[in-house]
Amino acid sequence: MTRRLDPDRLHRAVDDLSHRYVDAARLPFTITQVTQRGEVVLRHSYGFADHERTAPIAADAIVRIYSMTKPVTSIAMMQLVEAGHALLANPVRRWIPELGGLSVWAGGTKEAPEVVPAERDVTLHDVLTHTAGFTTGFQYQHPLDALYRDGALGDLFQYPRYSLEEAMKLLGELPLVHQPGARWTYGMSTEVVARVIEVISGQSLDEYLTEHIFEPLGMHHTGFWADDDDRVARLTPSWTRDKGKRLRVMDSGDPGSGRTRRPHFLSGAGGLLSTLDDYQRFCDALSGGGAAHGSRIIGTRTLEHMTTNHLPGNATTAEMAAGQSVSTAEGEGFGLGFSVMIDPALARRPSSVGEFHWGGAASTIFWIDPAEEITAIFLTQLLPSGTYPLQPQLRWAVYQALVDD
């Protein structure tokens, strides 16, 4: 017996959730789309695209997807693996010499760190699974995080003045937070992946992604900056909360902002702008075994490998993080660029074993459920992610609508 999403139940739950958040001025807007077996079951937008709450949000709005960039970059890297340019066991110093001979944090303070040599090289597999030991500046859980902020590495509130290549030199000067492969630490690993793509392909990251993913899938409004009047007009501000928990604009998106010109730093971990329909095309390829809209961007077997839990002993990210990382979850493992559901009961939310997903710093999320043949995309623009329990609430709103045919 198959199950289908009941459109009435789905709309009632998702609309109510969205309206409650926007009407209470906790979110500026929501844009949500849910598909099943390739058909759109729900498409809903609500709220405002401006701080004055006068311009209604449109479904074709361009938003910062932040870490929802990571799956795109990971797919691009695996295209090069498929083509024989790299193996997952290869050390990244093969392409980035600055990341050879790294040290590892052993104690001390930010001002006087104690380090030991890395026991082995960081591999491509390590950076794709976030087990390399790189952290990031927006975390506040380890003394190394502060050193990253000092170098504007992974700081969400700064536009770096260095290039992706120059960032690797900065990373190479800092110790790892743990030995390669020993733990799961969310950080700048996908920036390393992005630089490997550039070195192997001989193209800048934006050129490679455009040629090998965006153009084949028809993602014509996705990129690292809004480069014409139409795109600038559709680029929404991003918000955060002030001390009184009121919404305030963090980045207006107006001409002259950091998102309306080509950035110095092409962040493969969090730099993309996109739209609902563009990211749906990417999700269509993921739910379609690597192909959609007349183009194949990755092999079916490769995608299956990417969406399998790669953490040792089928561990969860929470088990491997040892309390030193954000973005961890009970019941979820991690593959090559995607979080992977391994135990929905432990995660305490409805899902399916094998569901894979990721979210972004501005409270965005997508997921693919192969068992129920569902894709879901939720876009808004509130930093930081995790301000509200949107992800589990949205899943309950979607899965309660599943009924037996």
Q: What is the DSSP letter of 224?
A: S
Helix (H, G, I), strand (E, B) or coil at 35: strand
Instruction: Return the pLDDT at 324.
Output: 62
**Boundary residue ending a domain (144, 169, 201):** 201
Does one domain contain both 141 and 256? no
pLDDT in tens, the chain (405 residues): 689 999 999 999 999 999 999 999 999 999 999 999 999 999 999 999 998 889 999 999 999 999 999 999 999 999 999 999 999 999 999 999 999 999 999 999 989 999 999 999 999 999 999 999 999 988 888 899 999 999 889 877 778 889 999 999 999 999 999 999 999 999 999 999 999 999 999 999 999 999 999 999 999 999 999 988 999 999 999 999 998 899 999 988 777 677 899 999 999 999 999 999 999 999 999 999 999 999 999 999 999 999 999 999 999 999 999 666 677 889 999 999 999 999 999 999 999 999 999 999 999 999 999 999 999 999 999 999 999 999 999 999 999 999 998
Two structure tokens written together for 181 = 């492969």
Instruction: Return the pLDDT at 3.
Output: 96
Query: Which residue carries 């502060």 as its tokens?
Result: 146
Asked, for residue 319, whether it belongs to a domain, the answer is: yes
Give the separation between CA 164 and CA 195, rounded to whole angstroms.
6
The domain of 165 spans 76-201
Does one domain contain both 131 and 93? yes
Asked, for residue 273, whether it belongs to a domain, the answer is: yes
Number of domains making up the chain: 2
**pTM, entire model:** 0.97
Asked, for residue 214, whether it belongs to a domain, the answer is: no
What lies within 8 Å, CB to CB, of 294 at 6+ separation is none
CA-angle at 286, arms to 71 and 387, nearest 5°: 50
**Boundary residue ending a domain (170, 201, 232):** 201
Instruction: Return the pLDDT at 217.
Output: 98
Does one domain contain both 183 and 81? yes
Asked, for residue 300, whether it belongs to a domain, the answer is: yes
What lies within 8 Å, CB to CB, of 153 at 6+ separation is 136, 137, 160, 167, 170, 171, 174, 188
Instruction: Return the pLDDT at 1.
Output: 66
What lies within 8 Å, CB to CB, of 20 at 6+ separation is none
Instruction: Return the pLDDT at 256.
Output: 66
Does one domain contain both 134 and 231? no
Alpha helices in 101-185 (DSSP H): 124-129, 143-150, 164-172
Asked, for residue 213, whether it belongs to a domain, the answer is: no
Does one domain contain both 262 and 345? yes
Give the separation between CA 79 and CA 197, rounded to whole angstroms.
10
Asked, for residue 212, whether it belongs to a domain, the answer is: no
Does one domain contain both 56 and 189? no
Does one domain contain both 197 and 250? no
Alpha helices in 2-58 (DSSP H): 7-23
Two structure tokens written together for 254 = 């107006």
**Boundary residue ending a domain (167, 201, 235):** 201
Instruction: Return the pLDDT at 49.
Output: 94
Does one domain contain both 391 and 271? yes
Answer for the pair 370, 104: CB distance below 8 angstroms, yes or no.
Answer: no
Instruction: Return the pLDDT at 158.
Output: 74
Asked, for residue 215, whether it belongs to a domain, the answer is: no
Q: What is the CATH number of the domain that holds 192?
A: 3.40.710.10
Query: Of 231, 286, 239, which Cα lies nearest the Cα of 259?
Result: 231
Helix (H, G, I), strand (E, B) or coil at 40: strand
Does one domain contain both 389 and 262? yes
Asked, for residue 208, whether it belongs to a domain, the answer is: no
Does one domain contain both 82 and 178? yes
Does one domain contain both 328 and 243? yes
Give the separation between CA 32 and CA 30, rounded to whole angstroms.
6
Answer for the pair 340, 356: CB distance below 8 angstroms, yes or no.
Answer: yes
Instruction: Please provide residue 223's backbone torsions phi and psi, each rounded to the nearest 5 degrees.
Output: 180, -170
Beta bridge partners of 44: 32
Give the separation between CA 84 and CA 80, rounded to whole angstroms.
6
Query: Of 79, 90, 368, 296, which Cα lies nearest the Cα of 201?
Result: 79
Does one domain contain both 26 and 92? no
